[in-house]
Amino acid sequence: MNEKTEVKDIDRSLHDKKNESKHRYQSAKGLTPEVIKEISREKKEPKWMLEFRLKALEIYKKKEIPTWGADISDLDMENIITYVRPDADLQSDWDQVPDEIKDTFDALGIPEAEKESLAGVGAQYDSEVVYHNLKEEMVEQGVIYMDMENAVKKHEDLVKDHFMKLITPNDHKFSALHGAVWSGGSFVYVPAGVDVDIPLQSYFRQNAPGSGQFEHTLIILEEGANAHFIEGCSAPKYSVNNLHAGAVELFINKGAKLRYSTIENWSRNMYNLNTKRALVEEDGVIEWVSGSFGSKVSMLYPMSILKGARARAEFTGVTFAAEGQYLDTGAQVIHAAPNTTSTVNSRSIAKDGGHAYYRGLLKVTENAHGAKASVACESLMLDNESKSDTLPIMKLQTDDIDIGHEAKVGRISEEAIFYLMSRGISEEEAKAMIVRGFVEPIASELPLEYAVELNNLINLELEGTIG
Amino acid sequence: MYNKKLVDNLTTGQSKLLSSKRRDSFKVFEKLTKSDFNRINLFDYQFPEYSPYNKEYLKEKKWQSQIVLKKMTDNLNNEEEILNYLEEFKGKKVKKGNQGLDEKYLSMVDAFYNTGLFIKVPRNTELKLPVEIFYELDKENPVLIDNNLIVAEENSKLTIVIDYRMKDQELAAFHNGLTRVIVKENAVLNIIKVQRFNDQSDNFDSNISLVSNQGELNWIPIELGARNSVTNNENTLIDDGSRASISSVYFADGDRKLDLGFKMNHQGRHSSSEIESRGVLKDRAQKVFRGDLYFQKGAGQAKGTEKEEVLLLDKTVDSDSIPALFSEEDNVEGEHAVSAGQIDEQRLFYLMSRGMSKAEAKQLMVEAAFNPVFDKIPLNDLKGSVINEVKTRIRS
């Protein structure tokens, strides 16, 4: 008899460290124009932003909850606290950040990572950014990296032109919610031709129980610019459900290249209903690297709109669904211009009753002649308590294209193990190699130094026995 | 129009149990609203007025003595047997399963069928020649609502060809059909369905099957006609080692719209399935391919593959593919692959360098894609006419 390969769960002890919820201001529960006005007043926002928020709230009230995907009936929207201001001011000197908050980020390895390998760091605690710093040489080249609140005031025109233009409150219920109550997040602007060769990183931490995090990330890359942005998320587990409904808008101009990496490790009571979209102009490139490990429910489908000729999108994603998790993720690519190309590579693992769902869209519009796309999805099931589904939708509206898709589901192949064993590798090691190899695409896409976080995340211990 | 009065008319002279089945189905039909087929922009479809179907659809053959073959609309003396078979479809724990392309369309057939056949191959019977059925639509018979039940008993073997066709190019005809299939232990059943309606007509067709222990069911659906064609083919592999395959071929040109659904529900251990679809889209044709491989819990060591290839001949076509894999069992092998694109320029160039015109070269390549499936048509006349039809239409 073969014994099944045991893959231990991710070690969450680090992330489950919770601080006493100290805050200066916390909005009332629920969603009313008064709460929205209150948030806007707290933030001392320009008037147009308040109007935008109120309009989004109206849309939110009208929109229905999606009827497909996850069951989110457990999520008590009326009782989510939409805004929690931590008891701290925004700092650009790490030592000034309050100890409690600092300790949390220290444990997560953020400051070390900054010292060693990052061009800039942002850290958000609950609804507000508590730390933001950008290396001097980047500032000199005109790179802007700051928290969204300040960007709204300091770079008002730039923000006004782009803010929620790619993701609008009309898109769905949670984008409307985001429009109404967004808070925190990062703003990145890279001028034409500037190459930010080391990554920028924002880390989002949700500490207050029963709250929602709605950070807004807006990145604009001018012509020929180049940047790598890393987003990390975590939260301790409380008995009440938390909600994350952020928005990420990426504008990639002519010939620019952006890599957007996410390591998402929200706690297992988080509803992660995030929206991410990139608009790519001529010869521009977007590369998504996405690791989904945490949350109770995730519904996340990053979209790349290839608007300019020869624009390119790449998506590499790993989803790991363990006990009690329903992770519904996938890439969306719209080929809307000639000779655009895209590659989607998704891996998912389901174990201990987890449910991994790949749901993707590939659309090629009428004028996208010469488009090339490939979608590959692989799922690994570690036991038969778990579920794994794959649903890639393809919509093709022109003839001169080359589209390929492949998907596979199954457990660790006996043949592969046998092959490795025939090469003198023990069965244990063979199985370990296969599982590691399975997640390798994402591990290899991250900068080595950044493995601080990833190492904390994936702690795979394999135990195999001789069959 | 599709009301109680019509049910009363239809049950006059029909045997008792089947009549009450019609009435029960009508109660279901009454309450339901029709689904829309969004992806081909078919909204709020209106069923045309009912009319009876009185054409003969069977070629008389000697083999008839070996099998049971009855018209579902007759006053049957074996109706209990039929109902027992129908019962088998109930209680198969399939998520949203056994509903055909839509419950409304399905219950419409069950309540208002104007023709249909019950075919049973008894145990240990093997028929060398295929059973040929042709449902032909014409001015006198513009509406076809066929309710078929095909049963292959243990160790039997049979091939059935159902040809849906029409000569009249002007007539706007309507077809809503239902074919239920039961394949018992060790039986092998092949079903070839050809749809060649004109481009004024609408085609709706549901196919549902149950395949038992070591049974094998092979479908060959060939879709060449109709203005709108919405079909569904769903197979449940209920026991150990049951097998099913679908080799689908379609050619859509002009303004045709196709919505093709294929589904394999794996319940039995070691069950295996294969879905293969090859198609060509030309002019402004629209097509949706839906292929579901569903591994239910308990279907250990099941294997399913799904493959779709589509050739796009014009800029104005619209091709949707939705291949899905749903798995509740780890010890399975599921795979799907889709490829879509133009005819390979290099191959086209090669053929043209050998003296072929572009049209001829294209035609040859389409034939090359289709022929492996066409070769499975056991009737030479039918095969010839299908091949000719595709040929002329590629050139037009």
Nearest chain B CA: its distance from A17 CA (Å): 34
Structure tokens at A277: 């979209």
Query: Is B333 in the same domain as B372?
Result: no
Q: Collect all residues of chain A within an 8 Å Cβ-Cβ radius of residue B339.
A: 403-405
Closest-approach residue (CA) in chain B for A360: B322
B174 & B300 share domain = yes
Residue B128 exposed, middle or buried by CB count within 10 Å (0-12, 13-18, 19+):
exposed
Query: Scanning every residue of chain B, which has its alpha carbon at the shortest distance from the alpha carbon of A397?
Result: B318
Check whether A50 has a pLDDT greater than 90: yes
Alpha-carbon distance B290 to nearest alpha carbon in chain A (angstroms)? 9
Identify whether residues B318 and B350 lie together within a single domain: no
Per the listing, tokens 């500032």 go with: A139
Smallest Cα distance from B62 to chain A, Å: 48
What's the domain range around B96?
A: 4-342
Nearest to A409 among B314, B325, B341 (CB): B325
Contact B330 A382 (CB under 8 A): yes
Q: Residues B357, B359, B363, CA angle at the centre, nearest 5°? A: 115
Greatest Cα pair distance, chain B, in angstroms, is: 68
For residue A222, name the pLDDT band (cuts at 50, 70, 90): very high
What pLDDT shows up at residue A117?
60
* Residue contact B323–A407, C-beta within 8 A: yes
Distance from CA of B281 to the nearest CA of A (A): 9
Residue in B315, B324, B333 nearest the CB of A390? B324
The whole-number pLDDT of residue B340 equals 83
For residue A15, the model assigns a pLDDT of 61
pLDDT higher for A11 or B356?
B356
Per-residue model confidence as pLDDT tens digits over A225-253: 999 998 877 666 666 778 889 999 999 99
Give the pLDDT confidence of A395-437 residue by residue, as tens digits.
999 888 888 888 888 887 778 888 888 888 887 677 667 776 7
**pLDDT for B196:** 94
The predicted pLDDT at position B396 comes to 73
3-state secondary structure of A452: helix
Q: How far is Cα A246 from Cα A32, in angstroms, rounded to an integer? A: 19
B325 and A394 within 8 Å at the Cβ level: the answer is no
Binned at pLDDT 50, 70 and 90, residue A308 comes out as: very high
**Contact between B145 and B109 (Cβ < 8 Å):** yes
Cα nearest neighbour of A378 on chain B: B335
Please indicate, yes or no, whether residues B353 and B383 belong to a single structural domain of this protein: yes
Do B101 and B21 share a structural domain?
Answer: yes
Strands (E) in A293-443, as ranges, are 297-300, 303-306, 312-321, 326-329, 332-335, 341-350, 355-364, 372-381, 387-396, 402-410
Same domain membership, residue B181 and residue B45: yes
| Whole-number Å distance between alpha carbons of B260 and B206 | 10
Predicted local distance difference test score (pLDDT) of residue B90: 84
What pLDDT, in 10s, does the model give residues A144-187?
998 898 999 999 999 999 999 999 999 999 999 999 999 888 99
Among A240, A25, A249, A82, which Cα is nearest to A158's?
A: A249
Taking an 8 Å cut-off on Cβ atoms, the answer to whether A405 and B324 are in contact is no
Which chain B residues touch A397 with a CB distance below 8 Å? 317-319
Task: Output the CA–CA distances (angstroms, integers) from residue B18 to A130, A229, A291, B9, B77, in the order listed.
Answer: 74, 67, 57, 13, 11
Quote the pLDDT of residue A451. Answer: 52
Q: Which domain-ending residue is among B342, B364, B387?
A: B342
Residue A454, pLDDT > 60, answer no
- Inter-chain contact B312–A396, Cβ cutoff 8 Å? yes
Q: How many domains are there within chain B?
A: 2
The predicted model gives A295-320 an average pLDDT of 94
- Among B325, B335, B362, which would you mutate to test the A interface (most chain A Cβ atoms within 10 Å of its Cβ)? B325
Whether residue B82 is found in the same domain as residue B225: yes
Rounded CA-CA distance B362/B368 in Å is 10
Give the residue from B232, B286, B225 showing the smallest Cα distance to B260: B232
Quickly count: other Cβ atoms within 10 Å of residue A119's Cβ: 21
Q: Measure B39 CA to nearest chain A CA, in Å.
A: 10
As a whole number of angstroms, the distance between CA A161 and CA A167 comes to: 13
Average pLDDT over all residues of chain A: 83
Do B64 and B203 lie in one domain? The reply is yes
Percent above pLDDT 90 for chain A: 40
The reported pLDDT for the residue numbered A9 is: 58
Minimum-distance CB partner of A405 among B326, B330, B337: B337
Pick the more confident residue, A264 or A194: A194
Least confident of A281-290, A453-462, B334-343: A453-462
Inspect the interface and report whether the beta carbons of B321 and A393 lie closer than 8 Å.
yes
Residue B319 has its nearest CB partner, among A386, A391, A396, at: A396
Q: Report the chain A residue with the minimal C-alpha distance to residue B327.
A: A388
Contacts of A409 in chain B (CB under 8 A): 295, 325, 327, 332-335
Query: In terms of C-beta density within 10 A (0-12 exposed, 13-18 middle, 19 or more buried), how is residue A128 classed?
Result: buried
Beta bridge pairs of residue A285: A257, A312
Distance of CA A338 to the CA centre of its chain: 29
User: How confident is the model over A65-117, as pLDDT tens digits?
Assistant: 888 888 888 777 777 777 777 777 777 776 777 776 677 667 666 666 666 66
Please answer whether residues B179 and B207 qualify as being in contact, where contact means their C-beta atoms are separated by less than 8 angstroms: yes
Q: Is the pLDDT of residue A456 over 70?
A: no
A410 vs B contacts (CB less than 8 Å): 330, 332-334
Best CA proximity match to A206, nearest among A118, A326, A101: A101
- Same domain? B96 vs B190: yes
Contact B338 A405 (CB under 8 A): yes
Written as tens digits, the pLDDT of chain B (396 aa) is: 899 999 999 998 888 899 999 999 999 999 998 888 989 999 999 999 999 999 877 766 666 678 999 999 888 888 899 999 999 988 666 665 667 888 999 999 999 999 999 999 999 999 988 999 999 999 999 999 999 999 999 999 999 999 999 999 999 999 999 999 999 999 999 999 999 999 999 999 999 999 999 999 999 999 999 999 999 999 999 999 999 999 999 999 999 999 999 999 999 999 999 999 999 999 999 999 999 999 999 999 999 999 998 988 889 999 999 999 999 998 899 898 888 887 777 877 888 888 888 878 888 888 888 888 888 888 888 899 888 888 888 877
Q: Is the ipTM of this complex over 0.85?
A: no
Q: Which two tokens stand for residue A243?
A: 């909600």
Is B325 close to A389, i.e. CB distance below 8 A? yes
Chain A residue closest to B297 (CA)? A384
| Percent share of chain A, pLDDT over 70 | 82
pLDDT of residue A113: 62
- Inter-chain touch A402–B324, beta carbons under 8 Å: no
Tell me the nearest-neighbour CA distance from A194 into chain B, angstroms: 38
Residue in B closest to A353 by C-alpha: B328
The DSSP bridge partners found for residue A316 are: A289, A345
**Contact assignment for B340 to A396 by CB distance below 8 Å:** yes
Alpha carbon of B228 to those of A323, B37, B392: distances in Å?
A: 45, 10, 21
Q: Give the domain-ending residue among B298, B322, B342.
A: B342
* Same-domain status, B72 and B144: yes
Q: Is B254 in the same domain as B227?
A: yes
Instruction: Judge if B190 and B205 occupy the same domain.
Output: yes
Local confidence band at A8 (pLDDT 50, 70, 90 cut-offs): low
